[in-house]
């Protein structure tokens, strides 16, 4: 999967609080995309449980949930589906 290139912060940002707000919007957008991806992975995992091999171990469900969350975060930070970038721009326009 190829990641969506990160959008650089605007050159026209004059005040430090503007730059901090843009960084905050980027982080919030990525976290939202990661949350959505985690829910998608969780649903996909449930759909494939019928293919289970029968092997089990203590903490399996917790391990899978943590794996899905970390995978979703990694995908979102790498560019993900492009949703974070879209949200970042929409929120930035709305804040103006």
The answer as to whether 34 is a domain residue is yes
How many whole angstroms separate alpha carbon 62 and alpha carbon 22?
A: 34
Over its length of 96 residues, how does the chain's per-residue pLDDT go in tens digits? 344 444 454 444 456 678 888 888 888 888 898 888 888 888 887 777 766 666 666 777 788 888 888 888 888 778 788 888 888 888 888 877
Q: Which residues contact 11 (CB under 8 A, 6 or more apart)?
A: none
The answer as to whether 70 is a domain residue is yes
The answer as to whether 11 is a domain residue is no
pTM: predicted TM-score of the whole model, two decimal places? 0.62
DSSP helix/strand/coil, 5? coil
How many whole angstroms separate alpha carbon 78 and alpha carbon 2?
A: 8
How many domains does the chain divide into? Answer: 1
Q: What are the C-alpha distances in Å from 17 to residues 4, 10, 23, 63, 87? A: 26, 13, 10, 39, 20
């Amino acid at each position: 999967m190829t990641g969506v290139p990160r959008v650089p912060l605007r050159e026209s940002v004059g005040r430090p609080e503007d730059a901090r707000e843009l960084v905050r919007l980027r982080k919030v957008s990525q976290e939202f995309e990661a949350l959505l991806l985690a829910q998608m992975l969780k649903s996909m995992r449930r759909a494939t449980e019928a293919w289970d091999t029968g092997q089990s171990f203590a903490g399996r469900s917790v391990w899978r949930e943590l794996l899905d969350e970390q995978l979703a975060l990694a995908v979102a930070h790498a560019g993900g589906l492009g949703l974070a970038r879209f949200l970042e721009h929409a929120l930035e326009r709305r804040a103006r």
